[in-house]
Amino acid sequence: MQASGAPAGSVAGLIDHTLLKPEATQAEIETLCREARDYGFATVCLNPTWVPLAARLLRGSPVGVCTVVGFPLGATTADVKQYETRRVIFDGATEVDMVINIGALRSGDVRTVKLDIDAVTDVCRAAGVVSKVIIETALLTDEEKVTACTLAKAAGATFVKTSTGFARSGATPADVALMRRVVGDEMGVKAAGGVRDLSGAQAMVQAGATRLGASAGVKIVQESKGAPVAASAGGGY
């Protein structure tokens, strides 16, 4: 399942319009949703507390509501992530981006990571909701990235995703290409963290990304149309 808020081929339809800053206000979230409608973004991506508001503001539009689970550290337990997932779906989320247990992966505890991912993807699959597994590439070796992507694919996740945007760095074309090689054509790859302009977005897509997490979505779309770049509500990626 892959939500899209714009016609095929439109850069806007690849973007999760993102505002994950802890200090985001209701007015900023309302602006984010309005921009998502106006520009035709795939989703708005925001913290769980704002899901009911976004679901109400976007009702009847093709724009999805994406939220985050176990965010940004991934260090909560699998049962807590599962509850978070059930709750945000109840509140109106159509896509869920979960952060894996990074410490367990780096410790070689593959079983814990598998159970962690399954706890979220099982709920999403039962509800018909898109699931994205954030592996936080900046903190992993290439071998660990391969393991994380393999586990996400085995769990039936819809996407693997590079980053939270809160680590020391975000997406790189090299990481996107590696992830694409591991998951093949059956899954989406979301590049997030540091996608700030059209050239950066194009580099990620060329490397294999099928979704972009960006707070600079308005700027990217304006650049793609050759229009003057205006300020936007997005932030946190």
pLDDT, tens digit, 9 for 90 and up, residues 181-196: 999 999 999 999 999 9
Phi and psi, residue 140, nearest 5°: -120, 155
Task: Mention every residue, 6+ apart, whose C-beta is less than 8 A from residue 15.
Answer: 41, 42, 201, 211, 212, 213, 214, 217, 220, 221
Q: Give 217's Cβ-side CA count (13 Å radius).
A: 38
Give the pLDDT score at 110. 98
Q: Residue 11: helix, strand or coil by DSSP?
A: helix
Cα→Cα distances 201→12, 59, 70, 178, 236, Å: 11, 28, 26, 17, 17
Q: What is the DSSP letter of 6?
A: S
Annotated catalytic residues are 97, 161, 190
Q: What is the pLDDT of residues 60-86, one digit of tens each?
A: 999 999 999 999 999 999 999 999 999
Neighbours of 169 (CB within 10 A): 14
Q: How far apart are CA 171 and CA 195, in angstroms?
A: 7
CA distance 130 to 138: 24
Question: pTM of the predicted model, to two decimals?
Answer: 0.92
Q: Is pLDDT at 212 greater than 70 in this prediction?
A: yes
Q: For position 113, what pLDDT does the model report?
A: 98
pLDDT tens-place string over residues 119-146: 999 999 999 999 999 999 999 999 999 9
CA dihedral 235→137→105→102, nearest 10 degrees, is -20
Of 108, 106, 139, 104, give the one whose Cα is nearest residue 119.
104
Per 3-state DSSP, the chain is made up of helix, strand and coil in percentages (nearest 5) of 45, 15, 35
pLDDT level of residue 6 (50, 70, 90 thresholds)? very low
6 touches 225 (CB < 8 A) = no
Side chain identity at residue 154, one-letter code: A
